Amino acid sequence: MCFKTGNMAVRGGALYYVIFVVFVLSAITLMFIIHRSIKLRQLQTELDYFAKIDNLSSALTLYLSQPEVYQRSSATDIILFEDSSSLVHIATEPHGLLEIITASTLYRGKTLRKSILCGKDPFQGDSIALYVPDHRQTLYASGDTRITGNAVIPGKGIQRASIEGRPLTRQNPVEGRISKSNSKLPDLSPKIVGKIKLIQNVDSIVNLATNINKLYQASVSNPYTEQTDWYWSESDYQISGIQAQGKIGFLSAGTILIRDDALLDGVLVSASKIIIEGGFTGSIQVFAEDSLVVGPGCNLKFPSVLCLSNDNVNPVYVGIGKSATIEGTVIVCQSNLSTQKPFLSIAEEAMITGLVYHQGLIELHGKIAGSLFCEGFYLKTKRAYYENHLLDNEIDFSKLPKHFVTVDIINGYNDQVIDYIESSL
């Protein structure tokens, strides 16, 4: 009897042990399953998050790749996969002549955003180096004149000439396709005209601006995703000894002088007359109405804009000094032309990389790496002055950097990223 009782006790203990082991293994298995489930949910959450981020990038890419479809309004919705969960809202806002595009989408009750500064890829076009409208005139080339890229010029073409004893040194001054131009320059796009008028609408800006006399700090900045902080004065003033970055604007009904000790990055300047002191370095967009002078040795970094726009009949003038460098866009336009057309002078050793659009005569002594649209040429020497004569001029579209972005003056569309300026992810 004692032996049987002991045997039953051993069997009972073994059963309890098995039950305990099964319980422990079950608990471990359950914990593993729960842990795995949590990890899978975390992984799915992360996948959903990164999918949303990818949607923002994809929507921006699609928006820029099909500008004729999406850029007709200031806001649009893009559904990427015929699924409302992939909806991305696109909103655009001008920053000078450039544009800020913001893509946003919802994720777990939060809004994810990505903003870019964008412009036009100049290589997605006709690669025009020179456009001169056909007023039944002849262009003459002498010296070491070189036009590299396509030339759209008057029907009489471009002929060899000798100025001041300097005959043309090459067989053909144009390395590219030559075609006949229309009787006038291509019109600026309504979007570009609208952006210029928006910047030059002093009355509406002043209502939201701060008097420049109340700007006490030496450094101001404002994110590109915010409204522009404008500083104004009814009289002339100087921008000197100040550092300004982002969506900052300076405005005057008179003259603004930008001194060479100012540190400006991406800011806007609008005035009747604007003078940029020699030696200044920075990235700016300036909008003048009567005259615009860039001093010698200035370095206006990409993506700067020089714009003079006037609705009156007064003669207007833009001067770019010796050895100045400009990376961006130069626009000179006048809706009601006087008997004296707008005049643009580019001094010796000056270099413009980008686009020049000028509704008047240009005195070109410097070089242009990019495109020039103008009414004609003016050349003054010690002995005489000449119209539509080019002497030792270089206009070379092929020297544009491959990733250069400019302003689309004709259609107003944007298809290239300049910079990723803000993310809220």
pLDDT in tens, 101-115: 999 998 888 889 999
With respect to residue 421, please indicate whether it lies within any of the assigned structural domains. no
Do residues 169 and 275 both lie within one domain?
yes
Average of per-residue pLDDT across 265-280: 96
Do residues 172 and 64 both lie within one domain?
no
Q: How many CA atoms lie within 13 A of 332 on its CB side?
A: 27
Do residues 361 and 378 both lie within one domain?
yes
Least confident stretch, 17-21, 35-39, 42-46, 122-126: 42-46
β-partners of residue 274 are: 256, 292
CA distance linking residue 404 with residue 13, whole number of Å: 83
With respect to residue 415, please indicate whether it lies within any of the assigned structural domains. no
120, containing H or E segment: none
- The SS3 of residue 267 is strand
- The SS3 of residue 56 is helix
Do residues 76 and 199 both lie within one domain?
no
Do residues 67 and 142 both lie within one domain?
no
CA distance linking residue 272 with residue 275, whole number of Å: 10
Do residues 306 and 214 both lie within one domain?
yes
pLDDT of residue 53: 87
Task: Give Cα separations from 380 to 108, 168, 321, 362 (angstroms).
Answer: 68, 18, 16, 11
Do residues 115 and 132 both lie within one domain?
no
Of 155, 159, 147, 156, whose CA–CA distance to 182 is shortest? Answer: 155
pLDDT of residue 40: 61
> Counting beta carbons within 10 angstroms of the beta carbon of residue 247, is it exposed (0 to 12), middle (13 to 18) or buried (19 or more)?
buried
With respect to residue 413, please indicate whether it lies within any of the assigned structural domains. no
- Ramachandran quadrant class, 239 (left: phi over 0; alpha: psi -120 to 50; beta: rest): beta
pLDDT band at 11 (very low <50, low <70, confident <90, very high): low
Q: How many CA atoms lie within 13 A of 350 on its CB side?
A: 24
pLDDT of residue 39: 63
> Cβ distance 375 to 341 under 8 Å?
yes
Find which of 18-32, 100-114, 316-330 is predicted with most confidence, using mean pLDDT.
316-330
- With a cut of 60, say whether residue 3 has pLDDT above it: no
DSSP characters over 12-55? HHHHHHHHHHHHHHHHHHHHHHHHHHHHHHHHHHHHHHHHHHHH
With respect to residue 383, please indicate whether it lies within any of the assigned structural domains. yes
Do residues 111 and 156 both lie within one domain?
no
Domain count, the chain: 2
pLDDT band at 18 (very low <50, low <70, confident <90, very high): confident
pLDDT of residue 37: 67
With respect to residue 315, please indicate whether it lies within any of the assigned structural domains. yes
- With a cut of 60, say whether residue 43 has pLDDT above it: no
Average of per-residue pLDDT across 339-349: 89
- With a cut of 80, say whether residue 31 has pLDDT above it: no
With respect to residue 422, please indicate whether it lies within any of the assigned structural domains. no
With respect to residue 217, please indicate whether it lies within any of the assigned structural domains. yes
Do residues 174 and 307 both lie within one domain?
yes
Least confident stretch, 55-59, 229-233, 322-326, 369-373: 55-59
pLDDT band at 334 (very low <50, low <70, confident <90, very high): confident
246, containing H or E segment: strand 243-246
Average of per-residue pLDDT across 40-68: 80
CA distance linking residue 189 with residue 168, whole number of Å: 37
> Cβ distance 118 to 408 under 8 Å?
no
> Counting beta carbons within 10 angstroms of the beta carbon of residue 4, is it exposed (0 to 12), middle (13 to 18) or buried (19 or more)?
exposed
Task: Give Cα separations from 93 to 83, 179, 302, 333 (angstroms).
Answer: 27, 37, 20, 23
pLDDT of residue 1: 46
Of 272, 273, 270, whose CA–CA distance to 293 is shortest? Answer: 273
Range of the domain at 300: 128-407
CA distance linking residue 402 with residue 386, whole number of Å: 35
425 C-beta neighbours (distance < 10 Å), count? 11
CA distance linking residue 289 with residue 292, whole number of Å: 8
CA distance linking residue 89 with residue 259, whole number of Å: 41
Do residues 109 and 145 both lie within one domain?
no
pTM assigned to the model: 0.87
> Cβ distance 174 to 158 under 8 Å?
yes
Buried-state track 267-306, b at ≥16 Cβ within 10 A, e below 16: bbbbbbbbbbbbebebbbbbbbbbbbbbbbbbbbbbbbbb
Last residue of a domain, one of 120, 155, 180: 120
Mean pLDDT across the chain, nearest whole number?
Answer: 89
Do residues 134 and 194 both lie within one domain?
yes
Do residues 216 and 184 both lie within one domain?
yes
Residue found under tokens 């009567």: 290
With respect to residue 414, please indicate whether it lies within any of the assigned structural domains. no
